[in-house]
Structure 1
């Protein structure tokens, strides 16, 4: 029996800071809104062999959450649209605790495997003829998505049990991927570590300077400072490794004649990119940090990089940064500030 899937396509957003990290973050991304197709599916035999199917629910993802209304909505959708899109009529009887159901909708924390695809949001068998029906058939749905997204996942997976593939209508339901929204999650700035792990790859583009070795040494001071915990402001065992390929780096430090965040060429900028799975307009996890240095003294490079590393760890208020980055003077920024622990 072929198993099919619904891939979660999380919106990728970006946050950008100019003069200070408490500036508003820029966000972007949009969902592709598609209307139901007007095409009528040709009549075809019901692969289930009967008009009414009994559906049960098994919730191991979140016992405090009531999924029944969402399942009911998805079943009603196909009861009203199966003739149009599947080519035969189907009805459902929802009995969450049914002892002998035709279909079991399983809400799980994660799906271990589904056609060898990473992180599917749902998984169901493709039922196209009677030989594929082995009751009860299970539909797996990750239980951490919002109500709206959960309804969409349920409709999609139920469509597969009616013999509909990813090219079938309605494409607003049966498309292989769609933007999904999770339940509310802590924002990146609310997490002690707003990254997937604490081991960072770093790319340094210092070709624009007359003394790349000195710039690299300054950047290394900033990285080592945070690797030592930055006076307890970041988790211990944070590590940084230089890489030669920019595309492989999570942290990119570059020098530029023009700063992307302001007019002029003096100062520095920092930008984080990541994901906003709950679509609240704030990133929940960072995937990359871009630090751009303008026309600053080599002796101040480490301080500027260190400041934006703090931004990359989710610092927002002045008090979040370790002491060397609070109210630093011109001379402070050019001192051996990393030895102030």
Structure 2
């Protein structure tokens, strides 16, 4: 069997603006924390003219906005791997009627999934990924396939294991967190195709990664087949067909008020007249690990490594982006802070309306 080992890196591009370059902040510079998994954490604050500033990280500090440099995590192929496979063949079916393009020599593949290291129930994502290829393999790899999950790895044609993926047999792993690896099965005979999946990935990216890696096991390299799925990089949160967003309220105010302000910002980017790129199509979800993007409003100081303000950085799960807004006094400018970070992904250069340190102007954003 000819196969190559592919790696898949998490593309959590956490930048000043998400995916764009460094932009000037509307007020004084702040600090950047590069200590979290190699991802830049940027902060943003604004000043309220009626309140004095404080140097302490507490709830009485005014908003501020600071920008940093962006990190572009890439996904690369890791070249050829050891071509040796287990010698125990588990294909006892006749190959007389099997499509010759099928390297497995059988129309039904046995799949063993080892989820011991994954603490969550992920059967739904696994079943959806398998069903996707049952429905679409004929179109993209030109042979039909069906999957049956088995309870013993020795009986498997495809072995999926959840684990801490640190390497896929390549030294080129310093440009981002690896999301998964898979054998690229291009010809047979095949004994077992191996797939590794990083644990604790946010659920929508988990399902995406499972489909991606299964695609490799069926013979698709990067940018082959369904291009949005087999791309060499994880789509960023705003590039998703539907961006799943969770709004989290850690402050002692009504969640309804937080959601109203956040929705103002989100809806601004759903209007194609307001943005330079594809408008945002979003869906609000109820659980943190169901989201591509979490937006957290908190009165806990220090989230953004600056007194008050807001920042964009990694979320609570792997492959998740988070926008955090500190300090209950920022509620009046909450929409602006969320909009400021979203604008970084929708404009090559932020519009002038975001380049302001006027508390009143920020409070009124978005203006009618």
Which has more radius of gyration? 1
Higher relative contact order (CA 8 A, sep 6+): 2
